[in-house]
Amino acid sequence: MESIRDRIAIVTGGTRGIGRAIASALLEAGVRVVVCARTGDAVTACIDRLEGRWPGRIKGAACNVSCFDEVRSLVDFTVREFGGLDILVNNAGVGVMGDIAEISPRQWQEVIGTNLTGVYHCCHAAVPILRRRGGGYILNIGSLAGTQGFAGGSAYNASKFGLNGFSEAIMQDLRHDNIRVSAVLPGSVNTGFRGHRAGEQARWKLTPEDVARVVVDLLRHDPRSLPSRVELRPTRPPRK
C-alpha cells in the first residue's frame, strides 16, 4: 500500500460537501492540505472547523477556478506555505439545470468555466510542479452525469462528458512522468448540491465520505496499476 503521509494536496471546492470530506480524509491520512472556495469566508469557516484537529496541516485561500490567475496564485500559495505539491483533487463544481432555451449564455459559461475549464486551469498550473517533484496524482471528481445525458442537463452533462475525455487524455500525457490521473464518477450524493436538500429522506444516496474513501484508496493504490476511472453508485436507489 502506497504511503501518502506528509504529501501535499490541493482540494478545490474543499470547504463543504464532497470536497470537505476529501480534505478531512486526507488530513486523517497525514496529508497536508490546501482548500479553496470562491469566498474567503467559506475558506475561513472550513479551516476554523478543521484546524483544531489537525493544527498546522490545513490552509486555504479564496479561488475561483474559472480564473487562471487565481488558480496560479493558489498553486503558488501552496508551494510557499507547504513547500511543494503532490496531489491535486479537482472537485469544484456548479450545477445549473434547465431546458436549453432557458439556460442563459452566462449560466452556460459558469458551468463549463468551473467544471471543465477550471480543471484545465488547475492541471496546467500544477503539472510543472508535479513533474519537478518526480510525480504525483491528479484526481478529477466527475459524475455519472458524464456517462448519460438527461433532460435539462445540457450544460452539466457537457461539462462532465468533457471532463471524462480530458481525464483520459491527460492520463496518457502524464503517465510516463509518474503522474497518475484518475476520474471518480459518483452517482447521487447526499449533499445540498444543485439545491437538493440533504438529510434523512436521502439516506439511500452516497455520502461525501463514501467518495472521500475512494479518493484515499486510489492514492494508496499500488502504483504498478492505475484505476483510471471509478464509477460509484448507491447500492439501492428507490425503485422507479
- Based on its alpha-carbon atoms, the radius of gyration of the chain, rounded to whole angstroms, reads 17
Q: Give the three-class secondary structure for 65.
A: coil
Phi-psi label, residue 135: left if phi above 0, alpha if psi -120 to 50, beta otherwise: left
Q: Is 120 a catalytic residue?
A: no
Task: Name the grid cell of 145.
Answer: 452525469
Q: In what order do the strands lie in the sheet with 136-141?
A: 58-62, 32-37, 8-12, 87-90, 136-141, 179-186, 229-232
Which residue among the candidates 82, 156, 161, 166 is catalytic per the annotation? 156
Helix, strand, coil percentages, rounded to 5, for the chain? 45, 15, 35
d(C-alpha 58, C-alpha 9), whole Å:
10
Q: Which residues are the active-site residues? A: 156
